[in-house]
Amino acid sequence: MKSTTIGVIKPEELQSILNERSYHKALQRAAEAITRAVPSSSVTLMTIENGPRIHFEAWANIPAAVIRRVEKSFNGELPRNIAEVLRTRETSLIEDLRTYADWRAPLKTVGSWVGFPIVLHSRVVALINVQTIQHRMTALTVKELASVVQTISLIVLRYQERRELATKNRHIDLLYHMALASSQEKDLQEVLQSTLGLLGRLLGYTHADILVYDEARQVLMLTANRGREEGRLGKELDVNSSKGVTVKAFRECRPVIVKDTTKSADFIVGMWPARSELAVPLVSQGRCVGIVNIESQRLAAFSRSDIRLLSPFVSGLALLIDNFQKTRLLHEQAMYDGLTGTLNRRSMDETLKPELERAGRYHHDLALVMLDLDDFKTVNDQLGHQEGDRLLRSFADCIRKAVRNTDLVFRYGGDEFLIVLPETSREQARSLLERLNTLHWQEMIVGLGRISFSAGIASVVSDAGAIDLLQLADNRLYESKRLGKGLVTDR
């Protein structure tokens, strides 16, 4: 096998390659220049993405069909010689391929191979491969190729730096979107769906989910998805009884990578044939608030580099979800009564006026029911406030069982409650109180016997001339108490 003598590559040719405006045309011209200079050679230039994932950008003296077949093979498993260059970030030369047992090539060869890495920020972003047939390349050959390799490197690095800058700008835009969303009063599902769409397009993930942890119910709820049917939204995974990669990542609070789902005991077959999976926990202040789950139909599609790539985004998502949950909790604490779980007086002040205006605008009936417990002061005085609190909670539960989902229940103050009944007449309100009277028999029994309630009713239609329906209902409640116990006054 003859040693290779490099032909001359003129400086003006290198300059013209460098000045080429089209990135891909410049690379192609450079690859062809190498093949003209190196006898019996073929050249490929591949870019390296996170994963690693390779893509052939330019080639010479190799059929395109072969290139695509080799690209697919390399993305299944990198050849040892390529992997070694990525690891060491140094030029590698195999002078005689007959002595290299691990050589992988589409055709049997008896020549040489050299791989020139192009490094940006301590990472190999591209690789120039030169292969010969019948001719041997030596260290001198590698040195002689330095000028054209340097030209190609400048082209690639210039392109990669612009690309990285554009990517960083998109990353910043996404993080800004997440920060802005966490400060606005929007629906969490809507925000996460939008964020996941941006994240998927930015990082190239086709199938991805965000599951949010509900601490009260101890379930992970599918809140946003990409590449799936929206009908799956709302699906729940019990973190105590469910299995799978997602639940494992939540329980262990660490990322879980499944390179081959057919060989994983943790993987559960879902709605489509995933070959690999990555689940990353969303952790805020030491608490796992959810999971980002990504799947691919490619084998070994995910690695530790994906976790590093996702790191700033999962931190932002965790903070976003945590902020939403805390804001919702604060809102509930502000709007709901801590003892009974009913809406509080502040919530009533914000809600009642719009409900009355809506009923008047559309000429619909609406009933207000004011009610309180008889002898409640005696219960507190003789049995203690703890029993009094239990009685209030029980009474509130009975009211909730008696009303509809569209009805509103408020704790007006002390042992007094207000029920707002849209689309309800005075007679229908009285029927509801009769139902409530039968529901609360067992719950309302204390050491002093059964505790009854009194009520007053006012409605938009039957009391059309009333200036203040709430005051009217309250006056009728006190009229019921004046007349006795367990009475209802509605006129």
Domains observed in the chain: 2-165 (3.30.450.40), 184-334 (3.30.450.40), 345-489 (3.30.70.270)
For residues 282-304, give the mean pLDDT: 89
- Mean pLDDT (the chain) is 86
3-state secondary structure of 375: coil
CA dist 53 and 301 (Å) reads 9
For the beta carbon of residue 15, count every other beta carbon within 10 angstroms.
11
**Strand 256-258 relative to strand 53-60, pairing:** unpaired
Pick from 200, 242, 247, 248: which is nearest to 224 by CA?
200
Question: What's the confidence (pLDDT) of residue 216?
Answer: 83
The answer to whether residues 290 and 211 touch, using CB atoms and an 8 Å cutoff, is: yes
CB environment 135-149: b (16+ within 10 A), e (fewer):
bbbeeebbebbeebb
Which single residue is written with the structure tokens 């057919």?
262
SS3 70: helix
CA 479-480-484 angle, 5° bins: 120
Residue 4 pLDDT > 70, yes or no? Answer: no
Residue identified by tokens 């209802």 is 488
Asked if residues 284 and 212 have their Cβ atoms less than 8 Å apart, the reply is no
State the amino acid at position 464 in one-letter form: A
Coarse DSSP helix, strand, coil percentages of the chain, rounded to the nearest 5 percent: 45, 25, 30
- Tell me, what's the pLDDT at 3? 65
The lowest-confidence range among 15-24, 228-237, 347-356 is 228-237
Which of 12-26, 57-71, 166-180 has the lowest average pLDDT? Answer: 166-180
Structure confidence at residue 61 (pLDDT): 93
pLDDT of residue 230 exceeding 60, the answer is no
Average pLDDT rounded to a whole number, residues 135-145: 89
Q: In the structure encoding, which two tokens stand for residue 241, read together?
A: 């009884």
Q: How confident is the model at residue 464 (pLDDT cuts 50, 70, 90)?
A: confident
Mean pLDDT of 289-314: 86
If you average pLDDT over residues 330-338, what whole number do you get?
82
**Distance from C-alpha of 84 to C-alpha of 165, rounded to nearest angstrom:** 28
Between 6 and 353, name the one with better pLDDT.
353
The predicted pLDDT at position 220 comes to 93
Q: Give the pLDDT score at 445.
A: 62
**Digit-coded pLDDT (tens) for 29-41:** 989 999 988 888 9
Please report the pLDDT score of residue 368 as a whole number: 96
Contact residues for 326 (Cβ-Cβ < 8 A; gap 6+): none
Enumerate the active-site residues. Answer: 415
Predicted local confidence at residue 417, as pLDDT: 95
166-175, 287-296, 463-472: which range is least confident on average? 166-175
- Interacting residues of 321 by C-beta distance below 8 A, sequence separation 6+: 188, 192, 212, 282, 284, 289, 290
Q: How confident is the model at residue 19 (pLDDT cuts 50, 70, 90)?
A: confident
φ and ψ at residue 448, rounded to 5 degrees: -95, 5
Percentage of the chain lying above the pLDDT 90 cut: 35
- What are 449's strand-pairing partners? 446
Q: Average the pLDDT over each of 164-178, 228-242, 255-269 and give the range with the smallest value.
A: 164-178
pLDDT tens sequence across 365-417: 999 999 999 888 888 888 888 988 988 998 998 899 899 989 999 999 899 99
With cut-offs at 50, 70 and 90, classify the pLDDT of residue 82. Answer: very high
Give mean pLDDT, residues 351-359.
90
Q: For the chain, give the number of residues.
A: 491
pLDDT of residue 271 exceeding 60, the answer is no
Least confident of 90-94, 336-340, 416-420: 336-340
Average pLDDT over residues 146-160: 87
For 191-203, what is each residue's pLDDT tens digit? 888 888 878 877 7
Q: Between the ranges 206-210, 374-378, 424-428, 484-488, where is the mean pLDDT highest?
A: 424-428
Q: What percent of the chain has pLDDT over 70?
A: 90
Q: Is the pLDDT of residue 185 over 70?
A: no
d(CA 152, CA 77): 26
